[in-house]
Structure 1
Amino acid sequence: MAKNVFALILIMLISATLQPPAMAADLIEPTLTPAAEIIKPKPKPKPETMGGFSISSTVGSYFFAGSEQRNVAALYGVKVGHEKIGKSAADNLGLEATINFFNASSKTVARDASGYLFRLDASYPFPINKKWMPYLVAGVGGIFSDGNGSSNKNILLNYGLGLKYFLQNYLAIRADVRHVGVYENSIFRQNVDIGVGLSYYFGKERIKKIVTQPVLEKKKIVVIEDDPAKNVEAKKTTATEKEDKSAVKPSEDLKVPEIAPPVKIEVVKKLSVDFDGTSLYIKPVYIKRFNEIAASLYESGDFMVHIKAHSRDTEKIADTVILSEKRVQRVRDSFINLGVNPNQISINANAALPVNSENNANSYVKAPSQRVDIMLVKLDAAAKLKTEQELQFKIERDEIERLVLETRSKDLIKAVLELHGENRSLPVDSATSLPFELVNQGEDTEEFMLMLSAPKDFDGFMESVSRPDDKITLIQLAPREKLKGNVRFRIPAGLIDGQKTMLTLKAVSTRFNDVVFQKDSQIAASAPLLRIEAKLSNKKVSPGDKLQYQLTIINSGSLSAHALSVKLSLPSAVNLVGASGAPFAKETGGMLVFKVDTIEAGKQAEITIDANVRADSSIGQEILWNAEVIDGTLQRRAKSTERSSIVLVK
């Protein structure tokens, strides 16, 4: 039964290879073909490609391992697979499922066995050309066999190679060799599978046989396009020529001109919109009709709306042309506001006037500037493609023109910005300013936005010299006009001496935000920089000894320090005798506070404290002196740079 099934599949595949005879429906009879069909360009044939879904029928032999004591068995199979052939060899991949039937006889006893092999294989095809395609395979499966009243089910692994030769793009002869490892009773039996077959690929286009007969009648072919000036006339010689028509070859007799197929446009609706005088107002009666046309445009992209106004040649430099352009644009905007895709709208504000055919070519229909005509048209595929291409071309052209115009406009914007005060040293905690100048050197009046890039705590802004304390952000300058101003800001008190900050002043065109003129100025903060040093007369003293403690306050900054307070915590192991260098007051807890009015930049102040070591001090006691200076103006503090101590000895 299984053999019959496999044989039937093989017969069906072989029959698919036979080319069917040409039928009457397959013949092309030029005498019955319309002229428009004769000149229609033939579509380009699709490129032949390998791969795809396929079904195969195979026959072959199955060789058992010697330990199985079985003769070579005939093998019948069906394979279903899919191959993907990519742009490069690395992209190629295939997958194939196989079922095989075999009937094997024993070499030793009269005991036959039949069974099935099931496999799922992955393949790597690498086509050499359009005919030959070798491939490597590997996969897993199982073998089920019955014989002598028992059945076996075992797992198998296989690998091998194959080759396909394509008779047609949909039909190929194949040959396969597989090494099959059958896992049985904890061992692998080494079997071999050899087969040939036929593969049929689905979805491949067959090339029909075309029988061309001679032309028995020659006709005049006329192709009408939208533009009457482009009508094409293809003339053929008359059939009165004395010649044997049956012997005429079509390639010599039928010479059809190579022209593009005409674009078919079907006008669905027409509407004329009348305007009063020089008004741009669209009357409400037309809005309902606009909605009907817009509804058709929503439904399908095959529809377009053409909007056009007319003007005589003598009017093309008159105000009526400008008026027509405005009205056409107003109608277009109305459709866009209704949700119509702008790509489905075409406009022509200067269309030629319709000619009055009853008179001469110079007689035109009246009221050219009072009307806008609207046509809803349906396009065929060729017209739609042509329209889309034209729209895309127009968009690209308009964008290029816009960029060119924008570039030229940017080049005409010329200005000079100067910011003075580079590398200035400015005192902290004070308001200051830097002068600047902005000159419009272009030929047109320009407006600029003034911007300052500075730390937030600088509180910077710009002012005009003519209007101090009046912040300015926008300034309009006539050609060659100059603005003189100041950048006002405050140096924060927290900056240390010598700290640098970059200020950037920008003048940005309000027409093009990428046209920027800027100037940088780096400033340095000027501030006092205090430190305190302490020095003891003796490092080791005994109870009752005299002790002198000297403090030095140094200002190494670039700015004078004012209203200084020097605090000294008097140790409990000493008694104060006196102090010099600055007035002082003694506070509770043994704190001495000295007042220093000013220490100039690069200068210093000295304070001396005299004391006695108390007689009841403990031997070995450590005496600590802590001093601190405070800037009363900037509220900055500096402590002694080192810690002094005294150890009591006998």
Structure 2
Amino acid sequence: MFMKHRRLFNALIVTGCILALFSVDLSAEMRKGAISLNPQIGGFVFEGNQNIDNDLTYGLGIGYSFDENWAAEGNFNYVDTESVSPRGEDVEAYLYRLDALYHFMPDSKLVPYVAAGIGAIRVDGGVDDTGTDPLLNYGAGLKYFLTDNMAIRGDVRHLVVDGSSGNEIDNNLIYTFGLTYLFGGEKKMAAAPPPPAPAPQLVVPEVKPAPAPEPMPEPKPEPVAPAPAPEPVTPPPPPPAPEAKVIVLDDIHFDFDKATLTDEAKSLLKQNLQTMKDNPGMKVRIEGHACAHGPEDYNLRLSDRRANAVKEYLVNGGVSADRLSTISYGETRLAMPEVPTPQNKNSNEAKANRRVHFEVLFQ
């Protein structure tokens, strides 16, 4: 019986892996409407007065997410053990549970949760306390997402079992480790970036020509000879219009899936920092961008971290924070056209798109 159930458990894990390979284009982490498949292995601890050895447990759970936080799961576990007696008679336990789960931080890779539910346990074999008894359970666990649709999972539950005598409570414990596969569900849409601010216009003050001098009164004619007429006065030419001062700050680039500054980026930022110090009236908008690899909502958050990393560097270098603003565009404004594949994440196009761009707003 033990080998039969172990082969069934291994088959479920292989089936889940195959299904996960065909669902790689779905959305990531906890999501509304997703169905989960949860193969698991762990340990089951019986209370001492039940006279049953603690042993391994195998199980499978199927769940449904009502939203990003709340989900329901149905779980089945099997325990193949023996009684605590000189004869060591075979004992089998079958555990059925229906649980409610609440997930914290559903958008992150590490998702803790709490759970509680009802169910029943059936014990067969060489012990006095056999049959099916109702139970309550509560506990907590963690999920860590390895991909958009697959996570490793750890879970521990306290089982409060209403014993067959009707007037005693058995306290059992089950702890499991396994995998969670997600299928379907609604993908969150990334918020549309705000339209770019209009380019600043340089206002050139109007220069008016100097007024012509008032005409001099004509002299009274002399009795001998009339005075010569005055020569006309030519007004001076207007001064040339001032030339607009153009300032360009160099873009910096990042490694794949990183928001930390490289040595090359820091070298360019030192030059940009000095330019801002030389022009104290200049304000700058820092634009964060990402390449097209990965989900849109993740790339939007990644580009925001890149923009804020650059802002922090400039502020630490002595630029006032009120001269700086940030905006994140994710993968919506690629510098070069890019078709993402697993093999071209370090292509010239992808490297060019993982950047921070500086927009000079006022000089």
Range class of TM-score, shorter chain: 0.3 to 0.5
Structure number with higher relative contact order (C-alpha < 8 Å, ≥ 6 residues apart)? 2
- TM-score, scaled relative to structure 1: 0.26
- TM-score, scaled relative to structure 2: 0.46
Task: Answer 1 or 2: which has greater strand percent.
Answer: 1
